[in-house]
Structure 1
């Protein structure tokens, strides 16, 4: 039975009503006990009833009328009084100035509001023609005049004590139920933090007292289990992909070495000019492939970072290299490449300006953008490579005349292994091009942006001039 009570779960509404009812009952009990204490004080003769002044008014009046000469000390202490002559002169008084101003003009019965009690007046005409005005209220005076003089007002003190008891009850009950809510919400927050920090191997136990928050804990536990299973599958797929990449990069080394060796042998022979150009294209392509293989090995190893160092790169020479690589990529489909430079870039290029960067990585990123534009352009069309400078950033924009990017490509391009042409994965296009461009741009303090222009797709690679070094 005790265990069932400890394991009991409350609805949030039930907890609220439980709080209201228990607090109300305790307040009611406290009030009854307070009232019994006040009655006990009256019963034992510690204080008078609040109506003592009104109840004894007639007796006090009779006592005053029997006096041959006015004697104020015979008036009970719980009355304030003043003696007024026939012409309205105050002869004697035992009351405050504020009350006296109204009391001296009273000839019968009257009253006035004075904090914390209303004052009531009763005038008694004496034998000598003067009148005594008695003032009383409905407070509870102490029986002992000394206590009445030195202690605070009993009724005000008792009322404040009641309010303090109510406050203590409200605070203690609120703290108790607030602690229940805090414990359960803290458990929900801890569970959410557990999932957010990917500590998915720790089970979440629904041990709260509030049913709704317990349900939330159970939901988070289900989410944890499903997320852990999903991540396990994803990690397994990632590991498999990395193994495939490592195997692919290893298998590519041998044929690349054979191709480069034979091309170098051909380069030593006497060839026609068109043959020399073909051999140079083979060697250049082989070099690029070796760079790709090295990058694949980095991705497979999980680092994704290039070991190439940052160094000073002449702007004019770099743009010329971009032009040569771009024209070589465009030649197969007889696509023309137009290189445009902004005014500031053209000026800096002629003045021998240099910037810091990883030359091979940047060239490869721009080649990827141009290669992507070539794949989606038709034979005979034009690709534009525009180089601009803005706010200390170098901006390379590749514009093609193709159909542009689809919505999925705009959202996912730059993610590893994503390709908008699913059938091209079987042709060796694994969706690494734009991913590498993003990584290179990030290493140079910039970024990659793809969008659809007026004529087709547009890819923009941004790098920071002085990133990881001073300007040249």
Structure 2
């Protein structure tokens, strides 16, 4: 990667190259435009730009022998534009409409000639020629390329303006094409950065890094991401090793505790069958309750460890059937506690791949948590929403919200949000749901609403 950066060029060089290439392309376009213009002039279709000035000089020689009474307009060159003014107008002065004796100018050209003005696009020039009787002939000309055929001058648009518009459009097109090309190159290079970011976000630390972008700043970012990937891979491997070791130890512990717990539970049941005194029976019943609670706890631990050490096989799951099973479980849990169960889902014919047994158990754990903390007569909700990328399951209730401790560390093993609680609930339900969601590439999110608590499980939609 270091060699890539050394061989790469800075981003400013890329932008400078874009500007230079655009400037060269525009210069070539201008050269081609001038060549075409010269070719059109050489063909005789239009006249050179100095033709108006030459026509004015020729007209001045002939006007020196004319008077207003003997003014011969046909003797003047065809390109000559003129206005004949009475003797009250001096050379170089503005004139009024009543000073005009005769003209071959259009209304706009005449209005400009009287005040010696010019249009916006290009400048007009004037020469005032006094006639022998004191009247004044004002000649108007400009440096443009008129059509050689007089009939075309009043039909076709101004040739010079048309050519300038064509040149402007050509230059604009070149700039747009060059900009789009440079933008496409930058997008292709930034797409490599986006690809690496998405790979890291998906925790795919084995995918090969893309090739160099040949831009120093981008390659430096890729190098940083590659370093980050290596450090993240090392960190995750250590974390996964510790997690695996902890899970294996927990599995061994639950297995070792199962035998003595069975002995305690069995002997307590035998004692309960004997005739006990009034003071002895409460103690035996307390042992039975504690043994039953410990057995439930160990069962939950074994189920959680099984899902981590020996995950079920992936299978094709019909989302509608899965939601129906979850709803049946929710109704069964709500009925004994006099709770209302409300479902909202329309999965259609969606199929996805997952571990059905683990997902069913995870949803059951969330429903158990919801019903446990919902007051009688209130509602428990189950919803399922799908989109193009994933499936989201929502389980929420009316009643108690999650304590702050659960929101901060919910989904972690043995996290209950209340260290003083003594109801046999050890937070394993949320931990199991989080473990199952993450094993599918998803996540568990805990939030509080105005009505109560909400647990959502998002799973990526992996087509069956």
Question: TM-score over 0.5 for the alignment?
Answer: yes
**Structure 2 residue 438 is matched with structure 1 residue 433:** no
**Structure 2 residue 256 is matched with structure 1 residue 246:** no
The whole-number CA distance in structure 2 between the counterparts of 1:186 and 1:437 is 38
Match of 1:415 in 2: 412
Describe how 1:34-433 pairs up with structure 2 within 5 A: 34-35=33-34, 37-39=36-38, 47-66=46-65, 69-83=70-84, 88=98, 92-101=102-111, 103=113, 106=114, 111-126=116-131, 131-302=136-307, 310-312=332-334, 354=339, 393-395=398-400, 411-412=408-409, 414-416=411-413, 433=426
Q: 1:111 to 1:25 in 2, by over 3 A?
A: same
Give the stretch that moved more between structures: 306-315 or 164-173.
306-315
The whole-number CA distance in structure 2 between the counterparts of 1:137 and 1:193 is 64
The whole-number CA distance in structure 2 between the counterparts of 1:72 and 1:358 is 106
Q: 1:129 to 1:239 in 2, by over 3 A?
A: same
Query: How far is 1:266 from its partner?
Result: 1.1
Q: Which is bigger in relative contact order (C-alpha 8 A, separation at least 6)?
A: 2
Query: How far is 1:259 from its partner?
Result: 1.0
Q: 1:397 to 1:172 in 2, by over 3 A?
A: closer
The whole-number CA distance in structure 1 between the counterparts of 2:447 and 2:287 is 29
- For the aligned residues, what is the CA RMSD? 4.6
Give the stretch that moved more between structures: 64-73 or 163-172.
64-73
The whole-number CA distance in structure 2 between the counterparts of 1:113 and 1:198 is 71
Q: TM-score normalized by structure 2?
A: 0.64
Q: Secondary structure at the match of 2:413?
A: coil
Query: How far is 1:265 from its partner?
Result: 1.3
Q: Is the 8 A contact 1:416 1:435 kept in 2?
A: yes
Q: 1:314 to 1:359 in 2, by over 3 A?
A: farther
The whole-number CA distance in structure 2 between the counterparts of 1:446 and 1:365 is 19
Q: Is the 8 A contact 1:53 1:138 kept in 2?
A: yes
Q: 1:206 to 1:355 in 2, by over 3 A?
A: same
Q: TM-score normalized by structure 1?
A: 0.63
Q: Secondary structure at the match of 2:300?
A: helix
Q: 1:389 to 1:63 in 2, by over 3 A?
A: farther
The whole-number CA distance in structure 1 between the counterparts of 2:301 and 2:11 is 56
Q: Is the 8 A contact 1:447 1:462 kept in 2?
A: no
Give the stretch that moved more between structures: 43-52 or 293-302.
43-52
Query: How far is 1:284 from its partner?
Result: 0.3
Q: Secondary structure at the match of 1:81?
A: strand
**Structure 2 residue 23 is matched with structure 1 residue 24:** yes
Give 5+ residue unaligned stretches, structure 2.
89-97, 313-325, 342-363, 380-396, 418-424, 437-443, 455-464
The whole-number CA distance in structure 2 between the counterparts of 1:42 and 1:273 is 127
The whole-number CA distance in structure 2 between the counterparts of 1:269 and 1:73 is 144
The whole-number CA distance in structure 2 between the counterparts of 1:441 and 1:238 is 14
Query: How far is 1:235 from its partner?
Result: 2.9
The whole-number CA distance in structure 1 between the counterparts of 2:270 and 2:64 is 146
Task: Give the number of aligned pairs.
Answer: 368
1:353-405 deviations in whole A, cap 9, x for unaligned? 54669899559988xxxxxxxxxxxxxxxxxxx9899996222899xxxxx98
Query: How far is 1:13 from its partner?
Result: 1.2
Give 5+ residue unaligned stretches, structure 1.
316-352, 367-385, 399-403, 421-431, 450-460, 465-472
The whole-number CA distance in structure 2 between the counterparts of 1:389 and 1:124 is 109
The whole-number CA distance in structure 1 between the counterparts of 2:435 and 2:187 is 43
Q: 1:29 to 1:441 in 2, by over 3 A?
A: closer
Structure 1 or 2, whichever has the larger Rg, is 1
Q: 1:354 to 1:38 in 2, by over 3 A?
A: closer
Q: Is the 8 A contact 1:23 1:170 kept in 2?
A: yes
The whole-number CA distance in structure 2 between the counterparts of 1:168 and 1:46 is 27
